[in-house]
Structure 1
């Protein structure tokens, strides 16, 4: 519903977020080839409640999202962003790949993201680290025959 002047009411924004997170969870579940019933068991959430979340009828709490993320074996941060709890992280596809890596701990992921972002800021500012600069000017000697 819209108010005069075309503005959306706050309740509509909540409904949109609930619908968006539900669709995202459904997509993740489908790509993981997990049934609704399996995910409800893995996440410790009732089957009807999970179904309501996926259909956008219910907006889950951060705690429920964390349980669902564990069941899907994805980062809770990804679900928090989709649900509007967290802002979209920076880093593009590299950041997404780091966050999606299931073999890294959350701490390791954060350290990698911090280093990556510092390099991006350096490059954007036009400053290059001495190591990167040295790598550009280093030549490999030719072998003599």
Structure 2
């Protein structure tokens, strides 16, 4: 069986979050969705589980951090080219997300931007030149990847 990833995110308004994730290209899987959770399919192997706060609390006793003011993780998805990176951020902004909570990065062979969903969870969107990736670590050694 292919290994899958299910990213679980606490959300304040499930319907708003479903609409947002659909606007950036995910589809809802009704088999794993109900009034407390929605399984949003990003790709064949990537799924985002949107959980109401009450549902989230059934999995852990840890406090739900306010993602509008703190960041526990950054999630990153690749895109096929720079234009697709820009289009994804534009879709997110049009659906109520915050564009570029982190500064855009353009290293020529690698390009990235970000957006925050309505709950403040940050998603990075990036493209890497396939020839640079194929060249291996040496292709990256010549570039300063320290954020500006």
Tell me if TM exceeds 0.5: no
Higher helix fraction: Structure 1 or Structure 2? 1
Between structure 1 and structure 2, the one with the greater Rg is: 1
Higher strand fraction: Structure 1 or Structure 2? 2
TM-score (structure 2 length as normaliser): 0.26
TM-score (structure 1 length as normaliser): 0.27
Greater relative contact order, per chain length (Cα 8 Å cut-off, separation 6+): 2
